[in-house]
Structure 1
Amino acid sequence: MRILIIEDEKPAANLLLKLIKKHFGDAEIFGNFDSITTTIQWLQENSVPDLIFCDIQLADGISFEIFEKVKLSTPIIFTTAFDQYAIKAFQVNAIDYLLKPIDPLEMDRAVDKFKANQIRSTIELDVLKELLSPKKVNFKSRFLVRYGEKIQSLPIEDISFFSSEERVTFLQTHEGKKYVLESTLEQTEAQVNPVNFFRLNRKYLCSLASIDGIFSYSNSRLKVSLKNSTDHDILISREKVSGFKDWLDQ
């Protein structure tokens, strides 16, 4: 952890350092800077600290000027002998405002608030990463089918296309064998990898290997011929043509 101290009074700086070491024994502490100029220069030339302890009245002005010139999201605990700057302090990432001489109990409270904010930020970041990370979907590698009294597991590689007829879903292999599925075509579509299968229309979900021919048709549509299919009027609507071409071209 990196902590920056900005304080122009030596006794106050020594007390602050002692209190910081009590709470953050393994922290890397920088400073003590006593002016706006030296602080701005350090912030511009170094990595952003994790926490800043900052006096408000410095040797060359009010420390708020630092944060007007160097934009930071780092939490700040302000220290001052005056309380008239409290509202202004909380407009620049302040998590607390300690009056001098610093009461160790008030310091405890400020540090607890900082640590609570850190935990909350970490949790929020983890949640955000989870929401933004692509979800791994386990697509089916086999389909269980029944043929008479016989039950068989068919690898996805053996499947030519799926079709829907009279509200019944069928699976057809490259060999031309046809099996009834218990799932709907919509449910089946969600179970197969879209890299390998494309929903041509409301009746057909086909694999790349099942396509025998693609032909231009009226109104910017396409007509597809599937191997081992007796349906010669498999049309792709204008809305699906672009997606179909992208699928073929990936």
Structure 2
Amino acid sequence: MKVLIIEDERHAVRRLEGLIALELPQATITSGLDSIESAVEWLGSEIAPDLIFCDIQLADGLSFEIFEKVKVRSPIIFTTAYDQYAIRAFKLNSIDYLLKPIDPKELILALEKFKEMRVGQALDLAQLKSLLQAELKEYKSRFMVKIGEKIQSVPTEEGAFFFSEERVTFLQHDSGRKFVLDYTLDQLEGLLDPRKFFRLNRKYIASFAAISEIHTYSNSRLKIKLKDCPDNDILVSREKVGALKEWLDG
């Protein structure tokens, strides 16, 4: 069995080679292809492998371009560093996708799916690209705030957390200053990158850096302490605890 790895991170290549060797000891592994250009050249001149592991984001662009430039019949398992907010629908079009760092158990499941897959199943590249682009949409990078008679632009990344108080929404700057915003927290939740900000409860959206302490609380809830925030009773509901832990661990 011939396996091809298209990946531009050497440590990821080494890990994947090791895992594949454990699960498919008879496989011949080809790696060293780290760009769209090198992959297109290889696939255009070599015999098609039985299985391809391909990172989605390569140094010179999205790997989908490879399959637009050269016809590939080999089944593909995509690998990606994107978190739980990205690319959930890949399972409908490819064998599977694996989040990095790759979990050995997830690799085994993907290989089992590969063995059951009919040969020559086509990828819907147009749908995959549209799904990825939708997931990787542009989030708000700055907010216009009023300071006295002046209007100033504040980069989103400088926002420690956002909160609502008496029906007014505030941006708490990482310097400790706070600014009024013309958005509700519900609106902000759709404008902020969910990899960087988490909706703790109905009153707070916080960045990772703003969280200074986490304590267990009654009824399987968590109590959060935010930097420069006088509110000592910021609670995360039991229903959100799992998602918060996953976000913190991402």
- The two structures have a TM-score, normalised by structure 1, of 0.48
> What is the TM-score when the length of structure 2 is the normalising length?
0.48
> Larger C-alpha radius of gyration, 1 or 2?
1
